[in-house]
Amino acid sequence: MNPRHKLDYYEKDLKRCCHCSMCKFIPLIQVKDARYTQVCPAISQKDFHAYCAGGKLHAALSLLEGRIEPDADLLDVVYRCSTCGGCDVSCKHNRDLEPLEVLFALRAHLVSTGVGPLPEHEPILMGIRNYDNVWQQPRQARGRWAKDAGVKVLPKQSAEVLYFAGCTYSLNRQLTGVARKTVALMKSAGVDVGVLGEEEPCCGSPAFTIGDHELFMEKAAANIAMFNRLGIKRLVTSCAGCFGVMSGKYPAVGDMSFEVVPAVSFIEELVREGGIRLTHPVNMTVTYHDPCHLGRQSEPYIPWEGRELKKLNSVVVHDPPKEYRRGTKGVYDAPREVLAAVPGLTLTEMKRIREYSFCCGSGGGVKSAFPEFALTAARERVAEAEETGVRAIVTACPWCEANLADGLAAGESGMELFDLVDIVTRAMGGE
Ligand code: SF4
Ligand code: SF4
């Protein structure tokens, strides 16, 4: 296992958590409305300290020091968390700690010691192992969405850009249109694009978040080797989960001879450079939901090897200096710039946005293990969107789309939900 995935790697972070509870809220200076102070869906629902990042760090330290035995209560605390990383951004507003990495390492510890994951996660891991997708669909099903797309199929053919749809955009029939539309607009812009069809693998992100790091490392290493062999220059992915893991975790696994680009940034580039023209008005008011994996969890991996020193017996310094991923360099501007370029469309922001966005509640294996938790979080986010008075929510992640759709279906606002590429396609004159 990568040492950075191990719990004891973070022992000093565990000891430095001061139980201040800042990880439950967005930083005070960023609060725009007293009703929208919380950033942690687990705390929003459970309102019990153990469920926040600080509580989990405390539990992790107790586990490492043998003061508690793992039990069902601990598993509930650890897995009733969407690994959204809101806590990480808030903690790092004041501190140099790695709460989110600890949450992942705690899961990896429980899985490697045979305690985790939860039974509801087993089908996901089994799907990755046996079918190379989280939905346990046969491999042949994966390429169906692209059958009539008139796009090159790698590795038989070669292309400069690989479009990587991901398990959900490939296999969820409600969402395959996003993959088809993305390829169509890339082709219309003259991009030399290809897909892997039924050879497309799972990116391994769900294995990482659930805590099966052995499976994740195996997938990541095999995928990097395969992508390198293709000779591509860029890999473009629509799925926020695929992008987050390829950008934030893969570089620690192996050298990559290609650039990973989220579809929203690729589209923004095409719009800015005139490759596609948004000429048809889309007369609509929308709000944009930042997916966690496209935002705060998509920052590039930052390698660091060194040692910690204590100055004046209290101040910790790193030698060489250590740079932290604080969530501020995620993909926030590109989707907003694309929406701003759509004629007739008006964007009204919610109160919690960008690195302070409130999670839809779907990630980290929560949707499988605690569907009611996922739905309640989605309802909270949808209510925030409804308050803006707009007609539709736009986002750019299949997990958010599926969960927010459930949240909308449970309400009566009649708001619509779109992937960003749906809006772009309409603005190009398509449907
Ligand atoms: S994880 Fe960070 S923000 Fe949360 S209690 Fe610990 S020190 Fe405070
Ligand atoms: S990752 Fe998200 S749900 Fe989990 S403790 Fe942090 S803020 Fe809460």
pLDDT averaged per 10 residues in sequence order, the chain, 431 residues: 84 94 96 96 96 98 96 97 97 95 97 96 97 94 93 96 97 94 97 97 97 97 98 97 96 96 98 97 98 94 89 89 94 98 98 97 96 97 97 96 95 93 96 77
Neighbours of 140 (CB within 10 A): 9
The number of folded domains in the chain is: 1
Determine the distance separating the centroid of ligand 1 and the alpha carbon of 50, expressed in angstroms: 12
* Nearest residue (CA) to ligand 2, atom 6: 87
Residue with tokens 């958010």: 400
Residue 168 lies in a domain: yes
Residue 430 lies in a domain: no
The reported pLDDT for the residue numbered 5 is 81
Determine the distance separating the centroid of ligand 2 and the alpha carbon of 53, expressed in angstroms: 6
The reported pLDDT for the residue numbered 315 is 86
| Structural domain for 126, as ranges | 120-273
Max Cα–Cα distance, the chain, nearest Å: 67
Residue 73 lies in a domain: no
The reported pLDDT for the residue numbered 310 is 87
Residue 264 lies in a domain: yes
The CATH number linked to 163 is 3.40.50
Pocket test for ligand 1, best of 12, 24, 26, 91 (most atoms within 8 A of CB): 91
Alpha carbon separation from 169 to 198, 254, 257, 267, 376 (Å, rounded) = 13, 26, 25, 17, 24
Is the bond into 320 cis (omega within 30 degrees of 0)?
yes
Residue 78 lies in a domain: no
Q: Cβ < 6 Å from ligand 1: which residues?
A: 17-23, 53-54, 57, 91, 95, 97, 99
Residue 254 lies in a domain: yes
Residue 359 lies in a domain: no
The reported pLDDT for the residue numbered 411 is 86
DSSP 23: G
Residue 165 lies in a domain: yes
